[in-house]
Structure 1
Amino acid sequence: MVWGHSVSQDLVNWIKLEPSLSPSVPSDINSCWSGSTTILPDGKPVILYTGCDANKHQVTVLAGPKDPSDPLLREWVKPKGNPVMVPPSNVPVDCFRDPTTAWQGHDGKWRALVGAKEKDSNKGMAILYHSDDFMKWTQFHVPLLESQVTGMWECVDFYPVSITGKEGLDTSVNDSSVKHVLKTSYGGNDCYVIGTYSSETDVFSADSEFTNTAADLRYDYGNLFASKAFFDSAKNRRISWGWIMERDSNKDDIVKGWAGIMAIPREIWLEKSGKRLMQWPVEEINNLRAKNISLDSKQLEGGSILEISGITASQADIEVAFDIPDLENDTEVFDSEEVDQPTLTSAYSASVKGVYGPFGLLALASNDLSEHTAVFFRVIRRGNGYAVLMCSDESKSSLRDNIEKATLGISLDIDPRHEKISLRCLIDHSVIESYGGGGKSVITSRVYPKMAIGEEARLYVFNHGTKAVTMSSLEAWSMRKAQINSNQT
């Protein structure tokens, strides 16, 4: 395993360089695994990453640029003194990895986290380390956070978010105007908690716990894992970038010669309520927009379907919003049972007709609809209020064999009596990234259409419910192809 290296001026078009880190010293001779970069006060970047050493133990290795003046940072060196962290005695040698970006406390010392798992238990944790010089690291006496029920914590992330606005913050910022986010990857999901952190005591007080259930807050309720967030000082924003795993077979991966792709980078900030994060595709992706179509307010009767033509449906960006008229007058028709989230989602696939919903988009659809991915909403009565379910139903996404499919979903935190139900879908041949409620929830689907390919792909707006809904607006664009893995010129 090596660190591939690409550079970009816009987070969309990328030039491929030679790998930046490859196995070359005893501490990483069996692989260079995940890590993070920290920008020091003098502007010099330093990488902390996981090396698999000669004994196949996971250790933390430090690397710095050979020539800090090189704008592309093409070559990196590993100084003497590596590894700078090794697994503690209570951690298995193969469960200690993925150091975070470091931050400075009020005492000026550096801090960093490493994901781990405790021996002979299911406890996952973020081990905290201190350093005066970035070379010698000392383990803090307790983890920054831990959970008894999650297993191994991978790709841990820790950063501040403003409680007053969308702007991103340098990782070392910590005062009364911020909360902190701790994200960790386990069970195939990127889960997070929000809380308050003191660098004087190194205590992080989380507002909730990791439960390893559907109740956990997630970056994405679909197929996204092992994300990493960083502070973009040029535009004062925090950007998260995640990995979309394959859903076909290992045999398919071997034929392709690769496996896994990166999602579109997302700007990330704290919702006004302070209870969850918001996410939205970076603005630069809009530069790929080409041919555009717009539709004004249109009523969608129950059982209706409308094709959206005039764009390339296999590579598109769609923003659509729905209204539900006179919702209060139909309270008697809604399910009032109190059920848990997984039961809600599984019981309400796109094939199950309700009163208000399913309604939304049929993406990457074949002409005869034998193949499609439904990204949709459903409004139900729940308790004394209303719930808006946002789902992505992959059950008919591909006619190919050996494709893993699922019905993915989450209850979207909006009140349909007073808010539009909005959706943005970024469609890219075999990936659909869906943002609901302006970024309150995201679902990424990895699908492999067999018929709905290129010009054969179709896009539809649909309403399979018995009651009409209003499509208040729709705007869609064909998307140009990004330049990726271009060789350096």
Structure 2
Amino acid sequence: MPHVTHLAPQAPGSVQAADRSAPRHHVRPAAGNWCNDPNGPLHHDGRYHLFFQHNPHEPVWGDIHWGHASSPDLVRWTDHGIALEPSPELPDRLGAWSGCALVEDGVPTAVYTGMNRHDGLGTVMLARATDPEITRFDALPRPVVDGPPPGLDLLAFRDPYVFTYEGRRWALVGAGHRGAVPRPDVLVYRIDEESLDAPWEWAGSLLDAEAPAAARHAMPATAWECPALIPVREGRWLLILSLWIDGVTYTATHLGGTLRTEGDGLRFVPDDGGLLDHGRDFYAPTALVEHDRVLVWGWSWESRTEAESVAAGWAGCLTYPREIGLHPDGTVRHAFARELTALRGRELPVGAELPPAYEIQADIRTREPDAEVTVRLGDAVSVRVNPTRGTVTLDRTEVPASATRPYPRTGTVTATGPTGADGRLRVLVDGPLVEVIWDERVALTEKIHPAPRGRLAIEVARGGAEVEVAAWEHP
């Protein structure tokens, strides 16, 4: 089976021959065209399986299928083509939209949004794998949820996510209410204890924007998309939400809090939160809960125009997997999946010409307050760190984004986290995709076209600091 990134098409006249115009190691459709939300990560029969929203016909959103890639180690990915396609005879005739996946009675099962109308209100459908390799899902003809609950005037109803709480399975669906004041919501459903296929029962709202922490950290939004609820410590949960504002996919946030039963349903009580990623090319993250960690992937869209993506023959990819959890002080921990160190090849000294894909690790110890260190990713892109202010800034001013939706981009983007005297910066670059994590506290993702090129340089731009640098090619 072919490696997913080795089959990316090369558009005429593109610079893909230099391996910089497109990611080499990130999951995206081998056939090119459109990719958006990650869906239904699974670990089954010794392999990781990752699905994603995919238009197989052109590099723009529309005619959404589920693409599929798998890996034994989160590093080497194999493309399997289309796993789930809409059927003209079923409630997914207008698209197999986002959802999750689980193993039911030994059979991998997709739980997804079947779309059969044009207003963003879907159904919840199931599809069973036809073989252990999950080369294809076959949809069940009857939805388990045939649309929004009666009596609710919704403008969004989609993206089911199944989780377990106190031994019982529940499901979330992202939603938003119509009205003069935007009111996003996460609806919760009870799943029959004996059968996933039985109709699910609406059990009210898990969370809405009236919760103070949600109002601070998950607004403004017209709807909350792609909800994912993950356990991070005994009695402690993170709710991941993607903020959708009048058709604009904006950013992703997390809320920390506790779960409690409320009548026949559940209620999430948040007490803190923040951005899951401070960059401008990270959205719709989804989670795989393992016994000792939680893995999260996001969708990285393009910072170029649609016309430029059409000319290149592809748009969108998934981020590297990240481990999300809690530090001992209760703040959220962000780390690249530990397996990604296997990508490291030859070492790159400071001053070396940077290859198309690489990793930089800089351990910074400040000797003076307000010291600032700059890591240069070639001639036009840099990452600046100020540990005592808790800021990380990606500067792409000399390589401006051509995309103007949802708004023209500034030349810099800054992540703000806890302050301190020292920390570790990790920067993973794969063609145009730059992913930054500072001291496992904050993350920042940005697509840069054309991709960074030039030599690696490190500067103590202000004050006094000691910097130990290691860098590796990702061949």
TM-score of the superposed pair, with normalisation by structure 1: 0.74
Instruction: Report if aligned partners of 1:34, 1:155 keep a CA contact under 8 Å in 2.
Output: yes
Which residue of structure 2 aligns with residue 421 of structure 1?
A: 423
Shift of 1:22: 0.9
Aligned to 1:117: 176
- Seen in structure 2, the aligned counterparts of structure 1 residues 84 and 400 have a Cα distance that, compared at 3 Å, is closer
Is 2:243 aligned against 1:186?
yes
Residue 404 of structure 1 deviates from its aligned partner by 4.1
Assess, with a 3 A threshold, how the Cα gap between structure 1 residues 64 and 463 changes in structure 2: closer, same or farther: same
Q: Is 1:459 aligned to residue 474 of structure 2?
A: no
Instruction: Identify if the C-alpha distance between structure 1 residues 37 and 286 changes in structure 2 by more than 3 Å, giving closer, same or farther.
Output: same
Q: Deviations over 1:174-199 (max 9, x none)?
A: xxx23111111015111011111134
- CA shift digits 1:38-86 (9 cap, x unpaired): 234x33332221111156663233323243xx33112222223225241
Secondary structure in 2 matching 1:252: helix
2 CA distance for matches of 1:55 and 1:356?
53
Alpha carbons of 1:464 and 1:119: their partners in 2 closer, same or farther (altered >3 Å)?
same
Where in structure 2 are the equivalents of 1:358-377 lying within 5 Å?
Answer: 359-363=373-377, 365-366=378-379, 372-377=380-385
Q: CA RMSD in A?
A: 2.4
Alignment length, in residue pairs? 387
> In 2, Cα distance between the equivalents of 1:204 and 1:399?
38
Residue 415 of structure 2: aligned partner: 410
Shift of 1:313: 4.2
Alignment partner, residue 230 of structure 2: 159
| Higher-Rg member (1/2) | 1
Partner of 1:348: none
Measure how far apart 1:405 and its partner are. Answer: 4.4
- Partner residue of 2:444? 443
For the pair 1:318 / 2:375, whether they are aligned, the reply is no
What's the offset of the Cα at 1:398?
Answer: 5.1
What's 1:253 paired with? 309
Counterpart of 2:79 in 1: which secondary structure?
strand
In the alignment, the residues of structure 2 paired with residue 285 and residue 103 of structure 1 have an alpha-carbon distance, to the nearest angstrom, of 29
Q: Distance in 1 between matches of 2:173 and 2:403?
A: 39
Other structure's SS at 1:387 match:
coil
Q: Specify the alignment match of 1:170 in structure 2.
A: none
**Counterpart amino acid of 1:374?**
S
* Structure 1 unpaired stretches of 5+: 163-176, 209-215, 295-307, 328-354, 367-371, 380-385, 481-489
Structure 1 90/431 Cα, relative in aligned 2: closer, same or farther at 3 Å?
farther
Cα distance in 1 between the residues matched to 2:276 and 2:457: 27
1:383 is aligned to none
CA distance in 2, matches of 1:12, 1:428: 13
Checking the alignment, whether the CA contact within 8 Å between 1:7 and 1:72 is kept in structure 2 is no
Q: Which residue of 1 aligns with 2:164?
A: 103
SS in 1 for 2:389: strand
Picking from 197, 213, 221, the partner of 1:150 is 221
Could you tell me how far apart the structure 1 residues matched to 2:118 and 2:461 are? 58
Change in 2 beyond 3 A, CA 1:398/1:150: closer
Separation in 2, partners of 1:396, 1:227: 29
Change (3 A) 1:66 1:226: closer
Bigger fraction of residues in strand: 2
Unaligned runs of 5+ in 2: 1-63, 211-219, 245-249
Q: Is the 8 A contact 2:83 2:137 kept in 1?
A: yes
Partner of 2:259: 197
Measured in 2, the distance between the counterparts of 1:269 and 1:93 equals: 33
Deviation (angstroms), 1:203: 2.4
Q: Per-residue displacement from partner, 1:94-132 (whole Å, max 9, x unpaired)?
A: 5101111232545x4x31000000121401010001121
Q: CA deviation at 1:282?
A: 1.2
Supply the AA of the counterpart residue of 2:474. M
Pick the aligned partner of 2:138 from 38, 54, 77. 77
- Structure 2 Cα separation of the partners of residues 443 and 117 of structure 1: 27
Aligned equivalents of 1:89, 1:246: Cα separation in 2: 38
